[in-house]
Amino acid sequence: MTAYRDIVIAGGGMVGASLALQLAAVLPQTVSICLVEGFPLPAPLAQGKPEYHPSFDARSTALSYSSRLVYEKIQVWDELREWLCPIESIHVSSRGHFGSSLLRAGDYGWSALGYVVENAWLGNALVQALYRQGRVEIISPARVAAAIPEGRGMKLRLEGGAETVLETALLLVADGAASGLREQLGVAVQEKPYGQHALVANVAFAQPHKGCAYERFTDQGPVALLPLLASSPGEHRSGLVWTLSAREAMHLQACPEQEFLQALQDRFGYRLGRMLQVGERHCYPLSLVQSAEQVRQGVVVMGNAAHSLHPVAGQGFNLALRDVAELSAVLARGASAGQALGDLALLQGYLRRQQPDQDRTIQFSDRLPGLFMHSDPVLGLARDLALSGLDILPGLKRAFVRHATGVAAMAGAPGDTFEKTSDKTGTGRRNG
C-alpha cells in the first residue's frame, strides 16, 4: 500500500519533534506532515499535563535564549518553564591561570542567559504538544528503512508494525548522529576525532549553585557544570560534562565514588563547597561529525545527523533549533510562492542562509577547548588577558554573550537587550 505525504520527518527525538511543531505552525493546512519514530512515544494525555518528578540522575540539555525564542513561537515554552532552571550567570575560568570572567544576565536586563531542562520532561512536553496540535501524523514505533529518489521526491519504505510505503516531496532526516538513514542514502560524513571522551553525570554539592553555570578550562580539557533543579530530598545538583583522555574517563567512570569525587574536587575546586554525591556516570568518545551534504533534491539532513559538535558551551542542540527555525521559514516562503517543497533550489537557499551560523558555531566549539589546552606560554598569557578583558571591555563582553546565547544568529533578534522579562518568565522552581 502506497500513501503520499508532503513532508516526512524521519526521527521523533527532540530535534524531530521540534521540527514537526515548527513546520505545522508556519506551513499552510493543506501541507501534510508525517513524523516517523522508531521508539514508542508517550501516550497522549486525556487532559491536564504529565506529572514529573526530577530524579537525581536525569540527563539534561542547556537551552540558549535563541532556543527559548523558537519554543515561544510554537507555544511550548509555557509548558516547559515549570521544570527549567535558569542560568543567571556563567563563570569562565582557566585552571592554574589568572584569567577569568563572570557573565551575568542581570547586567543586560535579561531574565537568564539560558536554561537547563531535563531531557525526559522536554521530550514528553514536545510530544504532548504534537498530540494537542493534532496537525502532524505520528507513526510510531516505525522507522524509514529505505529511501529511494522517485521523480522530484522520495519513495520511502517503513518498517515496524505493518510495512508501509510512503511517497513524499520532502524527506527530513533527523535520526541522530549515528544516522542509519543518512548512511543508507549514501551521504558521506567528515569526522574529526578529538582523542578524548566526555564523562557525564550529576553531582551534589554542599552549597547551592544560585543559578550559576561553570566552564573551567584545564590543560586536559574543559570541565562544565550546569545548574539543575533540586531533586527530592533536596540535593544541590549540577550537571557535569568533563572532558578527559579515554583512559582516564574509563577509570573515573568505574572507580569508587569517593575516588571520583576527590578527583573532580581537585580539578574543579571548592566554589560550590564539598562534593557530596555523584550519580550514574556515562562516557562517550568526542569527535566533530559533519554531513558532507545537508541538502539534495527532496532531502534535508538535520540535527546531529547534519552536525554533531564538541559539548563545550552546549552549542549543538541550540544550533539544531536555529536550523529548524530557518528551514521552516524558507519552506513557508516557498509554499506561499508556489514552489515545490523538495525543490533543490529552495533547499539550497535554506543552506546559504544558515551556513554562516553553522560555520561560526562549529568553529567556536571546535577551537575553544584546544585554545585552553595549548601549553605555549605566550598564547597562555594572551588567552588569560582575553578572558580578563571580557570584564574590562563591555562591548566585547556583550558581543561574546550574544554569540554564546545564539541571539546574534537569530533574524530580528534584539540588539543590546532581550525583552526585559519579569519573574513570570524567569521560570521554574529552583535550587537555593
CATH code: domain of residue 41 = 3.50.50.60
Q: Domain for residue 252, yes or no?
A: no
Q: Domain for residue 246, yes or no?
A: no
Closest CA to 54 of 131, 116, 133, 128: 116
Q: Domain for residue 74, yes or no?
A: yes
Domain interval for residue 34: 2-190+288-409
Output the pLDDT for position 48.
Answer: 63
Q: Domain for residue 196, yes or no?
A: no
Output the pLDDT for position 65.
Answer: 85
Closest CA to 282 of 252, 317, 237, 311: 252
Q: Domain for residue 268, yes or no?
A: no
**81 — pLDDT class (breaks 50, 70, 90):** confident
Q: Domain for residue 164, yes or no?
A: yes
Q: Domain for residue 302, yes or no?
A: yes
The pLDDT tens digits for 248-274 are 999 999 999 999 999 999 999 899 999
Output the pLDDT for position 408.
Answer: 56
The pLDDT tens digits for 298-331 are 999 999 999 999 887 788 999 999 999 999 999 9
Q: With pLDDT > 90 as the criterion, what percentage of the chain qualifies?
A: 62
How far is CA 347 from its chain centroid?
Answer: 23
The Cα 16–Cα 36 span in angstroms is 9
Q: Domain for residue 386, yes or no?
A: yes
**430 — pLDDT class (breaks 50, 70, 90):** very low
Domain tally for the chain? Answer: 1
Output the pLDDT for position 431.
Answer: 37
Output the pLDDT for position 15.
Answer: 96
Output the pLDDT for position 103.
Answer: 84
Closest CA to 105 of 339, 313, 397: 397
Mean pLDDT of the chain: 84
